[in-house]
Amino acid sequence: MTTAPASSPSSRPSSSPRPAAPLPRFPRDFLWGVSTSAAQIEGAVDEGGRGRSAWDAFAAQAGRIKDGSDARITTDHYHRYREDVALLEELGVGAYRFSVAWPRVVPDGGGQVNAAGLDFYDRLIDALLAAGIRPVPTLFHWDTPQALEEGGGWLRRETAERFAAYADAVAARLGDRVGHWITLNEPAELTLLGYGLGQHAPGRRLLFDALPAAHHQLLGHGLAVQALRARGATSIGIANSHGPTWAASRSTADTEAADFYDLLLNRLFADPVLLGRYPDEGLASMLPGPVADDLKIIAQPLDWYGINYYQPTLVGAPDPAATGSADFAGIALPPELPFAPREIEGYPRTDFGWPVVPEALTELLLSFRERYGASLPPIVITENGCAYEGIEDGERIAFLDGHLRALHEAMAAGADVRGYFVWSLMDNFEWAEGFARRFGLVHIDYATLARTPKASYRWLRAALRDQARG
């Protein structure tokens, strides 16, 4: 956690020009990729024996998705995966990070494995390998089987155990062709937005009573690592979301609020995995089960650590006079929280309203190196991207260019980063926003499902070809 850097809005650009200079050179074995998730692109929710997910149930509730849409079809990747693999091949990436849909493989979350669901991932992986692209599956990207959710979901320890059994089933079928595995994607967001604030599926508003969902996801991660190792996996990571926390001022109230926010969003999910302990004893006492024994499982050695980075957060003390919910980036925050995120001024913003701060990525990576030292394995940036409209998307080009330069700067200063994945290959169902936000390098016409590469796709293709020339 740091104090916000002094800056004047007038001293910073209000728009993002196209970059003119080539990117700096990355190592020849640096892994370049793009990311997606099953719930956001696959569609085909009623095909191949797929079960219902928590997001299916959430989207069916009136008012939950801002534009009233759902993911029953979305980009129809389930049927158009060959077309999408061809886009990946033309782009020139070395890896594709996708997620396996738990309800497609184990429709009820536990018990009978659906062979037809695994057949789809068989076909996808074979197509990727034929195109010379490394498959990097994520086992869980928020699509909890609804049958498990109705029984308590990640608030229950049993879900972690069911997740490990599912991981074993996936590895048994696909492990002969998969070298890199990711267990979980962003357990912080599912805990805080899904169980804490009710903004995402499953839509519960438990505030700090949501903490068992964090612990059980991390336990599920550790159990899944054990299952994957037992199946011979040699390259395993997790994809946690992280960003610098900036205190709004040097006052004690603001720095304490920022420290707590940093603990909740960053250290709560990194410390157990990397250090084998929770960052605060009081917090650990709020968690269920034999926590000390569970931490030994959670801290299974990893081959690399995935970081999803989008933005820093400016945090101050809450207003003691506030009585109603405050809106922050479209999220309703109740007044009883012990911190209050503030708007970061003086930087360009994405269509989501997020500040574009590439240098905060350098700060984040170097702070992780300092905080975790020898306990930190090599890092992979498993997500980095932005929401902008339009096919001639110069803002996205500038965003990617700036963040790749910031990443290179961190590496030059000693951060051990082995790969970078853009979010996302294509426009998709953006969770509670529906189809209102576009993160893709490829434009999707949701009426016709036509794929159109954007200017950012062409820019990245040229950049990767330049990197390949060495």
Which position among 186, 189, 363, 395 bears the catalytic label?
186
For residue 176, give the 3-state DSSP assignment. coil
Q: Which residue has the tokens 């950049």?
A: 463
Q: What is d(CA 256, CA 441) in angstroms, rounded to the nearest whole number? A: 39
- Feature table: binding site for substrate: 40, 141, 185, 310, 423, 430-431
3-state secondary structure 219-275: HHHHHHHHHHHHCCCCCEEEEEECCCEEECCCCHHHHHHHHHHHHHHHHHHHHHHHH
Q: At what angle do helices 77-91 and 455-469 cross, to 10 degrees?
A: 50
Active site residue 186: yes
Q: What is d(CA 341, CA 462) in angstroms, rounded to the nearest whole number? A: 38
- 313 forms beta bridges with 245
Active site residue 383: yes
Q: At what angle do helices 157-174 and 115-130 cross, to 10 degrees?
A: 50
Q: CA angle 438-440-441, nearest 5°?
A: 140
Q: What is d(CA 87, CA 265) in angstroms, rounded to the nearest whole number? A: 34
Q: What is d(CA 210, CA 217) in angstroms, rounded to the nearest whole number? A: 12
Give the burial class of 406: count Cβ atoms within 10 A of its Cβ; 0-12 exposed, 13-18 middle, 19 or more buried.
buried
For residue 278, give the 3-state DSSP assignment. coil
Q: What is d(CA 382, CA 165) in angstroms, rounded to the nearest whole number? A: 24
* Structure tokens, 89: 């091949």
Which position among 42, 149, 363, 383 bears the catalytic label?
383
Q: Which residue has the tokens 């082995």?
A: 418
Residue pair 272/298 in contact by the 8 Å Cβ criterion = yes
* Structure tokens, 340: 């209050």
Contacting residues for 361 by C-beta, under 8 A, at least 6 apart: 309, 381, 384, 403, 406, 407, 410
* Structure tokens, 172: 């048994």
Reading phi first (left if > 0) and then psi (alpha if -120 to 50, else beta), residue 68 is in left
Q: What is d(CA 441, CA 451) in angstroms, rounded to the nearest whole number? A: 10
For the chain, the distance separating the N- and C-terminal CA atoms, rounded to the nearest angstrom, is 37
For residue 452, give the 3-state DSSP assignment. strand
Q: Supply the residues annotated as catalytic.
A: 186, 383
